[in-house]
C-alpha cells in the first residue's frame, strides 16, 4: 500500500463505483482509498508458483483460487483489499465476480514497503473474517514463510525456513517450501537456498 489517492470520506459503494473508472487498483480502508504499488518480478513469480500449486491441488473441489485482481471485502473492519492470493470455498462467493467475502486462506508476498502493514493493520482487519483459517506471509528475499492459523479462537504462527514443509491446513496442501521459490528469474542468495533433504 502507498499513499492515499484521495482523502475523501468514501463509502464502500462509492469506492466501488469510483474505482471502476480508475486505471490503477486501489484498496479501501474505512473511507480512504490507497493506490496499490507495483510489484517486482520475483514477487510475481512466487505468487504464480503458489497459485499454480493451489489451482492444481484444488481442481474438482468447490474451492477457487484468485490472484491479485480480485478484492476481499471485510465488512466488520470496513475495508476492501487485494490480497496476492486468496482461496474461497463458499458458494456465496460465486455470486460476485469482483469481490469475495469468505476466504479460508489469504496469502501476501512481502515487500519492504508493505511488510509492516501486512503484519499489522491489514492482518488485524483480516482477523475479523469469520471464514479465515490461515493468513500466510511469504518473504521474497529469502526462504521464509509465516503461517498464522486460527485455532480455538486464537491465532498461532508457524515459521518455515529452508528444508521445511509448507502445510496449509485450510486447503489440505503439503509441499516443500522451496516449491514456492522455484525457477525465479533472479535466484535467491546462495546461502538462503538449502534444498530439502529426503531419505
Instruction: Specify if 121 maps to a domain.
Output: yes
Query: Same domain, yes or no, for 115 and 180?
Result: yes
pLDDT band at 61 (very low <50, low <70, confident <90, very high): very high
pLDDT recorded at residue 196: 42
77 falls within a domain: no
Q: Quote the CA–CA distance of 140 and 94 in Å, as a whole number.
A: 31
Q: What pLDDT, on a 0 to 100 scale, did the predictor assign at position 127?
A: 96
Check whether residue 153 and residue 66 sit in a common domain.
yes
105 and 152 fall within a common domain: yes
Question: 38-42, 76-80, 132-136: which has the minimum mean pLDDT?
Answer: 38-42
The full DSSP string for 121-143 is: HHHHHHTT-TT--EEEEE-SSSS
Report if residue 199 sits inside a domain. Answer: no
State the residue range of the domain holding 3: 1-37
Radius of gyration in angstroms for the set of CA atoms belonging to the chain, rounded to a whole number: 17
Q: What is the number of structural domains in the chain?
A: 2
The pTM (predicted TM-score) of the whole model is 0.87
Give yes or no: residues 160 and 105 share one domain.
Answer: yes
| Model confidence pLDDT, tens digit, residues 102-158 | 999 999 999 877 788 888 899 999 999 999 999 999 999 999 999 999 999 899 999
Amino acid at each position: 500500500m502507498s499513499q492515499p489517492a484521495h482523502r475523501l470520506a468514501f463509502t464502500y459503494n462509492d469506492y466501488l463505483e469510483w474505482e471502476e473508472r480508475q486505471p490503477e487498483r486501489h484498496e479501501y480502508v474505512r473511507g480512504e482509498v490507497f493506490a496499490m504499488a507495483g510489484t517486482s518480478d520475483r514477487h510475481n513469480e512466487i505468487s504464480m508458483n503458489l497459485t499454480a500449486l493451489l489451482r492444481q491441488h484444488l481442481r474438482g473441489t468447490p474451492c477457487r483460487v484468485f490472484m491479485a485482481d480480485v478484492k476481499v471485502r471485510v465488512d466488520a473492519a470496513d475495508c476492501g483489499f487485494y490480497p496476492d492470493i486468496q482461496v474461497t470455498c463458499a458458494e456465496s462467493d460465486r455470486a460476485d465476480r469482483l469481490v469475495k467475502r469468505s476466504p479460508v486462506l489469504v496469502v501476501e508476498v512481502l515487500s519492504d514497503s508493505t511488510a509492516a502493514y501486512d503484519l499489522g493493520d491489514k492482518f488485524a482487519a483480516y482477523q475479523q473474517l469469520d471464514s479465515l483459517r490461515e493468513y500466510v506471509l511469504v518473504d521474497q528475499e529469502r526462504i521464509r514463510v509465516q503461517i498464522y492459523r486460527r485455532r480455538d479462537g486464537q491465532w498461532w504462527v508457524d515459521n518455515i525456513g529452508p528444508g521445511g514443509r509448507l502445510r496449509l491446513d485450510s486447503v489440505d496442501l503439503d509441499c516443500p517450501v522451496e516449491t514456492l521459490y522455484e525457477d525465479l528469474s533472479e535466484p535467491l542468495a546462495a546461502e538462503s537456498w538449502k534444498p530439502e533433504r529426503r531419505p
